Structure 1
Amino acid sequence: MIDPDVPLETQVARQAKIIDALIRRANREHDLSGSAYSAFQSAVALQGQVWAKTRDLERTESELEVVRSDRERTRRTLTDALAALEGGVALFSEGRLEVCNELFQHLLPDIGARVRPGLSLEDYFEAMAESRHLVSTDRRIHSSLTRARHGPVGTSVLSFVIELAQDRWYQINLQRTSADTLVILQTEITGIVRKNRSEKENLIDEQAQYLQAAFEHMGSGICTFSRDGEVILHNTGFRELLGLPFTLLQKGTSLTQILGFIRANGLFQTADLAEVDGWRDRLARHGRLRRRLRHSGGRVLDLHVHPLPDGGFLVDVKDVTLESRATEMLEKRVGERTAELTRANRRLTAQYEAQARVEEELRVAKEAAEAAVSSKTRFLAAASHDLLQPINAAKLLISTLRESAEGTPLSPSLERLDGSFQSIEEILHALLDISRLDSTDGALTPADVCLGTLMQSVIEDQTPVAAKKGVRLDAVPCSAVVRSDQRYLMRSIQNLVVNAIQYTGAGGRVLVGCRRRPGSVVLEVWDTGLGISAHDQTRIFDEFARAENVPFGSGMGLGLSIVERTCRHMGHKVRVRSKPGVGSVFSIEMQVVPGRRMPAADAPDQPPPSETMDRIVLIVENDPDVLFATTQKLESWGASVLAAASTEEALQMVRDIGMAPDIVLADYQLDRGDTGIEAIKAIRAETGVKVPAIMITADRSPELIRKGAEIGFAVLTKPVQLGRLRPLIDWKTRWQAPEGPGPDKSLP
């Protein structure tokens, strides 16, 4: 019923209240009960409870008395212990003074009467700060007290030193012993402070002697001045270098006296002395001073002045007579050498001016040459369309005539005529390729290229040529992907294969394949042809260079030059191994693109073209000869041809027939800014059908190929190869049915 953890006084009071309540209850039951026996039983029980509570009360009072006695004894013991300590000690609990010894109470006599139990910590420090016996403290008391209240328990949270009257010193330490208890210790350190002060003075005297000894052993003259300009320390060298008397240069001599003596005795030249007169002002402005003085005795002195931390300054004087004479001699020699160099410089300037004029003439000539090359490149690029147009028309007409004259006496002549135009086309392409590779406009466009695709395309093109000559042409499949320009790499492979076929006799063999190497792949073209001598191998990659053993009229020697230029621009390595009468091996080494696999071709295997091309073909071509030749060729294949010279004519023909054509063949460059792209878009928009389209152009730029992939048309370059044109038309009209309106898709 009673919590044993509460104070004993509270337990006794609560027990008395319980006994009083029981007595009142017994009296009330005695008055109300009608049975004497019941009353007797109640009285007996009540008496037992009263005796038990009385014993508890007596035991509790005895324990309380013991606790009070122990507490008083502990307090007396703590007081005696504090009195026995050498320093002042005080115990603050919950911010109030609980107990302290006599030394703590009377450390500051004028506030001793206020140091009594119950004094707050703030009031004690306030009284300490106001005491007239406190001379100084090494920190602010109130800010230190604020930090002490939040310090960790069990450690010293504040320590500072105070100075009292009569040169007495005490160290004050504050330490937290619990969350609400703070102990203050006052330890006298007067003896330690006085001893340190004495040792410091002795050390300063010793250092002064050491410093003086160090000054005396220096090679230059040293003198230190106070902030008032009086001499503090100096060495013998300073006095001797300046020529000052011993009696003048003593401790306490002012700088003004020294300068007055120097001026009165003419120890330095007047100009030098004028410079030194205002040296303290210049030292204050610039932080340092350096002057060279000439002594009347012929010596040359360097004077350096440095500021000191206490406001004084240090003067350093050094004899530099020998150095000055050496410098003067050196300056004289330098002057003589400078004069010689000046004369040589005039000669070199004249030579340089002459060389500059020559270089300017060379620069102008170089710019003119570059402009000529650039003009040639632009001319060839601009003229390529006009040059290839008649060749394209002639090849189409020759092809039509060959089919018509087959089996007649004209057939051999037409075949030779076709071969002549083929040679013209190859030479023209070679010249255009060389021009583009030599231009500064960056004709190459690096991309990830699958070698297998390029090799297969070249093999398909050259197989008929090889079969006609009786040469066996084979290729080993390769799936390596390299970084190169697709068009020019294909041209390089084609040139190597064409050369191999051309210089291999009937019954010979040409093999194309690749060899894997770490990080690279080597494409090789083997042949069993004429072979090349070691002398010719060093020059066959030059323009118009041919081996000595090749027959006359077998080419202009441009193919290998294109290969060498392409490989040089792309960083590929081209090599040749050959033996006359045995054959040759041309190789191109390229870096492999790791982790790349080219996607499979979108188009299925092309079926063989049908005998009759039963299709409506719309041709958009501005050149009348090419338009006529293309129309004749397509009609000979059985197609129904709509021939238009512009986009507007093509749209009108579509409106006339009232339906979309099966395919559109368009030239890229039309008249008056019109293009084949606009024609294809307009026809598709007019018919609402994505009509298959082929762009036949002399433009070989990668931008046009990317545009074709975006809009959806294939690109064939002029002169068009009929062996590719008809299969492509047949595949597009058979396997790519025209689509309805919708987003454009890429077409091969």
Structure 2
Amino acid sequence: MIDPDDPLELQVAKQAKIIQALVSRAGRQNEIGDSGYAAFQSAIALQGEIWAKTRDLERASNELQSLREERKRTQKNLTDALSVMEGGFALFADGRLQLFNELFQTLLPDLSDRIRPGLDVTGYFALLTGSRHLVSGQATLRAAGELARAPLAGSGRLPTPVIELDGDRWFQLSLQSSSSDSLIILLTEITGIVRQNRSEKDTLIDRQADYMQAAFNNMSVGIATFSARGTLRVHNDRFRDLLQIPRHLLQAGTRFAQIVDCVRDTCLADPDQMGGIQRWREVLQNDEAVRERLTHVSGAILDIHLDRMPDRGFLVNITDATLEARTTQLLEQRVRERTSELTEANRRLTEQSRKQARVEEELRLAKETAEAAVSSKTRFLAAASHDLLQPVNAAKLLISTLSDQSRGSAVAGLVERLEGSFNSIETLLHALLDISRLESTGTDLSPSEFCLGPLMRTVIEDQLPMAQKKGVRLDVVPSSLWVRSDQRYLMRSVQNLVVNAIQYTENGRVLVGCRRCGDAVRLEVWDTGIGISLKDQKRVFDEFTRADNVPPGSGMGLGLSIVDRTCRHLGHTVRVRSKPGVGSIFSIEMAVVVAARQDPPRPEATQPATEDGCDGRLVLVIENDPDVLFATVQKLESWGASVFGTRATDEALQIVRDIGIAPDIILADYQLDGTDTGVKAICGVRQTAGVEVPAVLITANRNPELATMAQHHGFSVMTKPVDLTRLRRQIAGVPGQSGTDKSIE
């Protein structure tokens, strides 16, 4: 019933009303009560409550009195504090002036009697703005009044306008709003601060002017300004020093034309340089700049620049360009000298280039001559290989026949020595031809993929007679690995290694086999021969080089050199391991490839080489060289074969027609007379006989195309001089007349 937030007077009045109501209620109860004791009891209770309320009322009255006294003291303290404040203070509550100090009221004498409690904010700012003592700040006061007039909905700091009063007095108004919709205005005098700032500003301006003047006077550039009428305003000392003109001409008001005349008459090395003074004025009138370079009588080079200023006057600045001009002259001189040097160097280079061109032309001609010589050499070797191998082949056949016929006679030993010497000649000839082909620019290498097993068996079969004759055991370990190489050149390399092993092994063993090494394979030739020392192992692959322990008469030392060159061309690696008195291991390492196909077994490898294996064989020989034809026929007949010798395709075809049967085998030389060839002869005989007659093409030409052609037509190729062992095996491997009906229909 009593709100503790109400003022104390209001609380006391409410308590009095409550007490009165209780007393009245007690009186009514006494009137209507049935029992006197009950009424008495009620009166006692009511009296207790009245005494309690009376004590509360007295205590509240005392507290109210204390609060009133405290309020008076606080108001007196606030009044005393405001009176001693240096600035003016005012408090506006609900937009009305409530409290202020004396300075706030008396700051503007013409407004003192109008500043009273209850004055609203808008009225106060209107009074300030209209005061006759206000010198400046009206605009800022009006803006501050507009902001202060709005309801003080939020607390925060308002603008702080600065006003100037008469007597050079300055005050700052600070407006602060509070959360209770009150506005506080503080008037702070800042006259001392303003005057001090003004003094410091004037001092700074004066100093800056001094600094500017000092900088102006000490500039390295001469500067002078002229009015729109062309009269001198200001200049620095550098301007006079550069022009070296009298001081009296550099007084304020001197006309620009007078200065120009003085400079032209007394200061310039060439007075005609100033002939453009009229042009300068025209250029300046068009708001353009003037740039001139003059030479002073002292030797100095001066750059003069004239620029129009906003007030239609103009600025003249003069720069000493002597150092720059002399540097430019030196640079130009250096450029001329350098240009002359470069011209001379270019002349020498041109001359050198012409000489180099002549040398290059001579080298080109020499190269062409060398290439022509190499080409001529290649053509010569191609022709010589045929011309040399033809008689060698004939001689080999004749000597072999002579050897067979002289067995048991007195000349058998002589014929054997003759055959050995001839074999040495044949080996050397093959070596020289191989070296020439490897050195030529067009080495006829034809890499292909093949199995190493047949190649090794062929080498063993070819060299087995030589090994048996010497008493050396020759073995091979079969291999099914495939490689990519030139089959013919690789076979020649393996043959050279095997021949070397047999030659330098006495009553021992030679073994040929392959060893797998990851993705590569090493084809190795082992022997138990004399071995090679460590120092000789580094040079045995050089031409015409033999180990120190090799007996005299053991060859020219070309076999290993050919092996090394061939393998380098094929991309293979050749190695040797050896120990004197123990033996040697030569190896050729090459990459392994996946087997693409299986070669059919070689016919000559399946047939044994017997002395009478050729008996009854009908052999057709086509050879245009009479000596070779005679030697071949003699040798084949000594083997027991029936031989028909012809010199051309036509003769061969006529023989086949005459005898009425197909031969057992055809031996045809590739290069016949004219356009006739052994291939043509083989194909013609087969067509005439109506039978795919086995054939061997014998040639001194080692062109890889022949191997391709032979594979296409189904015949084999043998190179001259013919390996008689292989030839005999080839003939013995074909069936004789008794095995097949070969009559011509």
TM-score range, shorter chain: 0.5 to 0.7
1:726 alignment counterpart: 728
User: How far apart, in 1, do the equivalents of 2:446 and 2:225 lie?
Assistant: 88
2:137 alignment counterpart: none
Shift of 1:726: 1.9
Which of the residues 684, 687, 692 maps onto 1:685? Answer: 687
Shift of 1:661: 2.0
2:526 alignment counterpart: 526
- Within 5 A, what are the aligned runs for 1:167-186? none
Matched, 1:601 2:600: yes
User: How far apart, in 1, do the equivalents of 2:361 and 2:582 lie?
Assistant: 53
User: How far apart, in 2, do the equivalents of 1:339 and 1:544 lie?
Assistant: 61
8 Å CA contact 2:293, 2:304 repeated in 1:
no
Give the residue type in structure 2 aligned to 1:489: L
8 Å CA contact 1:606, 1:727 repeated in 2:
no
1:425 alignment counterpart: 426
- Cα distance, 1:267–1:421 mapped onto 2, change above 3 Å: farther
User: How far apart, in 2, do the equivalents of 1:424 and 1:658 lie?
Assistant: 42
Give the residue type in structure 2 aligned to 1:719: P
Partner of 1:543, secondary structure, is coil
Partner of 1:473, secondary structure, is strand
Shift of 1:376: 1.7
8 Å CA contact 1:385, 1:698 repeated in 2:
yes
Residues 271-298 of structure 1: CA deviation (Å, up to 9, x unaligned) = xxxxx99xxxxxxxxxxxxxx9965576
- Cα distance, 1:413–1:294 mapped onto 2, change above 3 Å: farther
- Within 5 A, what are the aligned runs for 1:697-712? 697-712=699-714
8 Å CA contact 2:669, 2:698 repeated in 1:
yes
Shift of 1:622: 0.7
8 Å CA contact 1:660, 1:691 repeated in 2:
yes
User: How far apart, in 2, do the equivalents of 1:336 and 1:675 lie?
Assistant: 78
- Cα distance, 1:616–1:507 mapped onto 2, change above 3 Å: closer
User: How far apart, in 1, do the equivalents of 2:281 and 2:522 lie?
Assistant: 88
Query: How much is the aligned-residue C-alpha RMSD, in angstroms?
Result: 3.9
Partner of 1:441, secondary structure, is coil
- Cα distance, 1:341–1:539 mapped onto 2, change above 3 Å: farther
8 Å CA contact 1:266, 1:296 repeated in 2:
no
- Cα distance, 1:426–1:267 mapped onto 2, change above 3 Å: farther
- Within 5 A, what are the aligned runs for 1:34-73? none
More moved, 571-580 vs 480-489: 571-580
2:490 alignment counterpart: 489
User: How far apart, in 1, do the equivalents of 2:282 and 2:545 lie?
Assistant: 87
Give the residue type in structure 1 aligned to 2:429: L
8 Å CA contact 1:513, 1:525 repeated in 2:
yes
Shift of 1:674: 0.9
User: How far apart, in 1, do the equivalents of 2:585 and 2:530 lie?
Assistant: 12
User: How far apart, in 2, do the equivalents of 1:268 and 1:349 lie?
Assistant: 56
User: How far apart, in 2, do the equivalents of 1:699 and 1:371 lie?
Assistant: 21
User: How far apart, in 1, do the equivalents of 2:328 and 2:577 lie?
Assistant: 71
| TM-score for both structures, normalised by structure 1 | 0.54
Residues 416-449 of structure 1: CA deviation (Å, up to 9, x unaligned) = 2221221111111111111111111232111113
Give the residue type in structure 1 aligned to 2:427: E
Matched, 1:464 2:473: no
Residues 332-386 of structure 1: CA deviation (Å, up to 9, x unaligned) = 4343223223334444555555555455444433433332232122111112122
Give the residue type in structure 1 aligned to 2:600: A
User: How far apart, in 1, do the equivalents of 2:514 and 2:324 lie?
Assistant: 78
User: How far apart, in 2, do the equivalents of 1:441 and 1:556 lie?
Assistant: 26
- Cα distance, 1:295–1:617 mapped onto 2, change above 3 Å: same
1:661 alignment counterpart: 663
8 Å CA contact 1:688, 1:740 repeated in 2:
no
- Cα distance, 1:541–1:246 mapped onto 2, change above 3 Å: farther
- Within 5 A, what are the aligned runs for 1:182-201? none
1:557 alignment counterpart: 557
Shift of 1:512: 2.4
User: How far apart, in 1, do the equivalents of 2:324 and 2:601 lie?
Assistant: 90
8 Å CA contact 1:391, 1:719 repeated in 2:
yes
User: How far apart, in 2, do the equivalents of 1:559 and 1:445 lie?
Assistant: 21
Aligned sequence identity (%): 62
- Within 5 A, what are the aligned runs for 1:187-226? none
8 Å CA contact 2:660, 2:743 repeated in 1:
no
8 Å CA contact 1:398, 1:418 repeated in 2:
yes
User: How far apart, in 1, do the equivalents of 2:544 and 2:584 lie?
Assistant: 19
| TM-score for both structures, normalised by structure 2 | 0.55
Shift of 1:244: 12
User: How far apart, in 2, do the equivalents of 1:377 and 1:352 lie?
Assistant: 36
User: How far apart, in 1, do the equivalents of 2:227 and 2:548 lie?
Assistant: 106
Shift of 1:536: 3.1
User: How far apart, in 2, do the equivalents of 1:331 and 1:529 lie?
Assistant: 85
User: How far apart, in 2, do the equivalents of 1:364 and 1:562 lie?
Assistant: 31
- Within 5 A, what are the aligned runs for 1:498-517? 498-504=499-505, 506-517=506-517
- Cα distance, 1:324–1:416 mapped onto 2, change above 3 Å: farther
Partner of 1:407, secondary structure, is coil
2:415 alignment counterpart: 414
8 Å CA contact 2:280, 2:290 repeated in 1:
no
User: How far apart, in 2, do the equivalents of 1:269 and 1:397 lie?
Assistant: 121
Give the residue type in structure 1 aligned to 2:675: G
Partner of 1:454, secondary structure, is helix
- Within 5 A, what are the aligned runs for 1:38-437? 266=279, 295=292, 330-437=331-438
User: How far apart, in 2, do the equivalents of 1:535 and 1:358 lie?
Assistant: 44
Partner of 1:733, secondary structure, is coil
Partner of 2:733, secondary structure, is helix
Give the residue type in structure 2 aligned to 1:368: T
Partner of 2:445, secondary structure, is coil
- Cα distance, 1:293–1:733 mapped onto 2, change above 3 Å: farther
- Within 5 A, what are the aligned runs for 1:565-644? 565-593=565-593, 595-603=594-602, 606-608=606-608, 609=610, 610-611=612-613, 613-644=615-646
Shift of 1:476: 2.7
User: How far apart, in 1, do the equivalents of 2:524 and 2:631 lie?
Assistant: 39
- Cα distance, 1:342–1:688 mapped onto 2, change above 3 Å: same
User: How far apart, in 1, do the equivalents of 2:328 and 2:516 lie?
Assistant: 72
User: How far apart, in 2, do the equivalents of 1:479 and 1:451 lie?
Assistant: 7
8 Å CA contact 1:479, 1:597 repeated in 2:
no
User: How far apart, in 2, do the equivalents of 1:461 and 1:690 lie?
Assistant: 27
More moved, 597-606 vs 702-711: 597-606
8 Å CA contact 2:618, 2:736 repeated in 1:
no
8 Å CA contact 2:665, 2:694 repeated in 1:
yes
Shift of 1:549: 2.5
User: How far apart, in 2, do the equivalents of 1:404 and 1:582 lie?
Assistant: 41
Matched, 1:438 2:439: yes
8 Å CA contact 2:662, 2:742 repeated in 1:
no
8 Å CA contact 1:691, 1:739 repeated in 2:
no
User: How far apart, in 2, do the equivalents of 1:342 and 1:668 lie?
Assistant: 68
**Larger Rg: 1 or 2?**
2
Residues 662-707 of structure 1: CA deviation (Å, up to 9, x unaligned) = 2211111111221111111222222222222111111221111111
8 Å CA contact 2:613, 2:732 repeated in 1:
no
- Cα distance, 1:406–1:482 mapped onto 2, change above 3 Å: same
User: How far apart, in 2, do the equivalents of 1:269 and 1:490 lie?
Assistant: 103
Give the residue type in structure 2 aligned to 1:664: I
- Cα distance, 1:528–1:358 mapped onto 2, change above 3 Å: farther
User: How far apart, in 1, do the equivalents of 2:667 and 2:359 lie?
Assistant: 56
Partner of 1:700, secondary structure, is coil
Partner of 2:606, secondary structure, is coil
- Cα distance, 1:327–1:630 mapped onto 2, change above 3 Å: farther
Give the residue type in structure 2 aligned to 1:657: I
Shift of 1:597: 4.8
Shift of 1:638: 2.4
Partner of 1:652, secondary structure, is helix
Shift of 1:603: 4.1
